[in-house]
Amino acid sequence: MDSDSNCCCEHSKQKQLRISLKDIASELGISQTAVSFAINDKPGVSAETKKKVNEAAMKLGWRPVYAAQALGSSRTMTIGFAPTRSYDELKDESFMLHFMAGAQASLSKRRYGLLYQPCSSMKEELATYEDWASRKRVDGVILVNLQDNDPRPARLKELGLFAVLAGGPVDSDWLLSLSIDDSQVMGCILDNLLESGHKRIAYISGDSSLMYSKYRQKSFQMFAAEKNLDKICVEYTGFKPENAARITMDLLTQEDPPTAFIYETEILAIASLKAMTEYLIKRDYEENTHRYYPYKLPAIVSFEDSFICESSYPSITSVQRDASEYGSKVANLLLKVIDGENVKGDRKILTPRLVLRDSTLLYKR
């Protein structure tokens, strides 16, 4: 491409950035007030005019600057949340729903709204932040699921977007974080399983690229070494229930199988419980043993709690965290950052507790 073409491209980009309601009004030969009413879907103009205005806005490449619409304030009064989540994860997500509810509860007290835009990939998530920054769409964003060599903190700093990480800690000179203190939970789980006689334990985890998954794996292996367990294994599922069920059955049908399973989420746990149940019932029927379910079911622990753990049979022992309070505290921290307050980050809060239920209580080894 020659220099003239480059100049034309740059001129086109600059012109697109300068598009205003006045330009749309000139394009259509109507008043700027009529364009404003149409853009904001207010009464006073016809449906046909609204349609023409929106078509012209799209054609000219006009974008709303939300900061200019926030009652003369330089703020948009909006916090962005664009986590990378697959459709299947969104369907079954319970922790995140409570997290968002808590965040919105705190934001509402300050008349802020939460803009939730789930993304299918890291690339899409980064593009979303770039779009929000270019249109001044949000005042700040909440980050979750920190990964190895995560590009998001540096990119958000370049874009000038305030942000807080739910998780961490993070190696950053500007990004603050709040994380749930899981430091003692794994030890508590293993102590409980050991007391029941379990020394062959499997940890069925989520995504190996996530920092919190790696932290839990490290804790599991460290505590297991301290407790001199006979046999341990760690398997990753990508948070797919079908993978968890398959891995569980592969392990369960080996020689000297695990007598206890720890799962990253309750969805992985319940999918595996279903697979184990079908296997045990079928085996007992074929052997004509007529044992009562759940005879010889391995112990099951979930690292996340929900109504699923309470209502399943047997009910599932799980780690209980207050996701709503967590979301509230993360949102409050972000608002303080936006306000320019001198606040501390990289803190661990809300120590979770282990809720014992039938899946570990009924079947002492």
Residue 65's pLDDT is: 64
Residue 364's pLDDT band (boundaries 50, 70, 90)? low
Please write the tens of the pLDDT for every residue from 209-247: 888 888 889 989 998 888 888 889 999 999 999 999 999
Gap between the Cα atoms of 191 and 146, Å rounded = 29
Percent share of the chain, pLDDT over 70? 85
Closest listed residue to residue 259, CA positions, set 176, 350, 360? 360
Please write the tens of the pLDDT for every residue from 49-81: 989 988 998 888 887 665 555 544 568 889 999
Residue 57's pLDDT is: 87
Residue 334's pLDDT band (boundaries 50, 70, 90)? very high
Please write the tens of the pLDDT for every residue from 342-351: 887 778 888 8
Residue 317, classed as helix, strand or coil, is strand
Given the structure tokens 């903190």, which residue do they identify?
A: 153
Gap between the Cα atoms of 248 and 2, Å rounded = 60
Region 31-60 average pLDDT: 85
Average pLDDT of every residue of the chain: 85
Q: Dig out the tokens for 156 from the structure.
A: 């958000």
**182-320+352-360, CATH topology level:** Rossmann fold (3.40.50)
Please write the tens of the pLDDT for every residue from 278-322: 888 777 766 666 665 666 789 999 999 999 999 998 999 999 999
CB atoms within 10 A of CB 115: 17
Is 100 within 8 Å of 116 (Cβ atoms)?
yes
Residue 88's pLDDT is: 65
Residue 90's pLDDT is: 64
Residues paired with residue 317 on neighbouring β-strands, in sequence order: 301
Selecting from 3.40.50.1000, 3.30.365.10, 1.10.260.40, 3.90.105.20, what CATH number does the domain 19-59 have?
1.10.260.40
Gap between the Cα atoms of 158 and 39, Å rounded = 31
Q: Is the pLDDT of residue 333 over 50?
A: yes
CATH class for the domain made up of 76-179+321-349: alpha beta
Q: Is 76-179+321-349 the same fold as 19-59?
A: no
Domain range annotation of the chain: 19-59, 76-179+321-349, 182-320+352-360
Region 271-275 average pLDDT: 94
Q: Is the pLDDT of residue 33 over 90?
A: no
Please write the tens of the pLDDT for every residue from 102-136: 999 999 988 899 999 999 999 999 999 999 999 99
Gap between the Cα atoms of 176 and 142, Å rounded = 11
Residue 41's pLDDT is: 64
E strands in the chain: 78-81, 113-116, 140-144, 162-166, 176-180, 200-205, 231-236, 260-263, 299-302, 317-320, 347-349, 353-355
Please write the tens of the pLDDT for every residue from 88-103: 666 667 888 899 999 9
Element (H or E) spanning 101, and its range? helix 95-109
Is 298 within 8 Å of 276 (Cβ atoms)?
yes
Closest listed residue to residue 267, CA positions, set 89, 109, 114, 130? 89
